């Protein structure tokens, strides 16, 4: 994968073993379309039309059931809002080292680079997500380091001035660990920015809302075609 994309716009991908598909790049391209992000039209991503068919296809190709959903194949509401905010308010990332937590498609990481970040580390434990980050970064002519370390599990991280987190408060255990991690980084002096459409486990009482957007999304993923989505920081 790295060799295939190291011509001019290379993006490194560190972490666990790569998916056992002969050509992951071809798989992603064959099962997605390159489209502009609704709220962030400056960025294009490889996205799937529907979640379930791609999910089934991935399990079929890998010969493994019970895989996590293909979060990497969609522009989620929280990520769209956070990406829009970062591009419109570059002072939060310009000239800084950035960490994008649970990066998925790499949307927020790409936005940070377009807004002038000096470097971006996009973390996701899903190997397919890291492949998508590499591919999407190249399509947007930016360089990102995609990594597979589990930051919520205590993996060491590079020193970063801003931590970005979109759509991570969807499940209780993950939300609790994510908030603990983000709080620790804030204590160390990092700016923490969160994009979220009001997921069940978002700790609103511990956050301060910065702005809100109406984000177009697909009904295949959400309960409405437009999601009121906010960008938050730690209170």
As a whole number, mean pLDDT of residues 189-215 equals 97
pLDDT confidence of residue 223: 72
Is the torsion defined by CA of 91, 198, 150, 83 positive or negative? negative
Using a 10 angstrom Cβ sphere, with 0-12 exposed, 13-18 middle and 19 or more buried, the burial of residue 188 is: exposed
pLDDT over 70, % of the chain: 81
Greater pLDDT, 68 or 30: 30
Q: Exposure of 137 by Cβ count < 10 A (0-12 exposed, 13-18 middle, 19+ buried)?
A: buried
- 108-162 pLDDT, tens digit each: 999 999 999 999 999 999 888 999 999 999 999 999 999 999 999 988 899 999 9
Mean pLDDT computed over 186-206: 96
Between CA 8 and CA 148 the distance in angstroms is 23
Nearest to 107 by CA among 160, 24, 53, 39: 39
- What number of other Cβ atoms are within 10 A of residue 149's Cβ? 17
pLDDT band at 64 (very low <50, low <70, confident <90, very high): low
Residue 224's pLDDT band (cuts 50, 70, 90): confident
Residue 9 three-state SS: coil
């Amino acid at each position: 994968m790295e060799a295939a994309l190291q011509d001019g716009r290379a993006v490194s991908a560190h972490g666990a073993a790569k998916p056992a598909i002969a050509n992951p790049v071809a798989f992603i391209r064959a099962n997605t379309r390159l489209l502009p992000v609704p709220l962030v039209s400056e960025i294009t991503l490889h996205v799937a039309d529907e979640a379930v068919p791609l999910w089934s296809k991935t399990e079929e190709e890998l010969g493994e059931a019970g895989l996590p959903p293909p979060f990497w194949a969609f522009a989620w509401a929280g990520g769209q809002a956070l990406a829009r905010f970062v591009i419109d308010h570059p002072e939060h990332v310009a000239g800084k080292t950035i960490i994008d937590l649970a990066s998925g498609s790499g949307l927020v990481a790409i936005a940070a680079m377009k807004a002038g970040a000096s470097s971006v580390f996009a973390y996701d434990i899903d190997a397919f997500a890291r492949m998508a980050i590499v591919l999407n970064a190249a399509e947007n002519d930016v360089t990102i380091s995609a990594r597979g370390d589990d930051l919520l599990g205590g993996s060491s991280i590079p020193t970063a001035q801003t931590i970005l987190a979109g759509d991570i408060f969807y499940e209780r255990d993950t939300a609790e660990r994510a908030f603990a991690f983000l709080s620790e980084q804030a204590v160390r002096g990092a700016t923490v920015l969160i994009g979220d459409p009001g997921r069940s486990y978002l700790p609103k009482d511990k956050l301060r809302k910065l702005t809100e957007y109406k984000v177009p999304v697909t009904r295949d993923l959400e309960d409405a075609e437009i999601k009121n989505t906010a960008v938050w920081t730690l209170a």
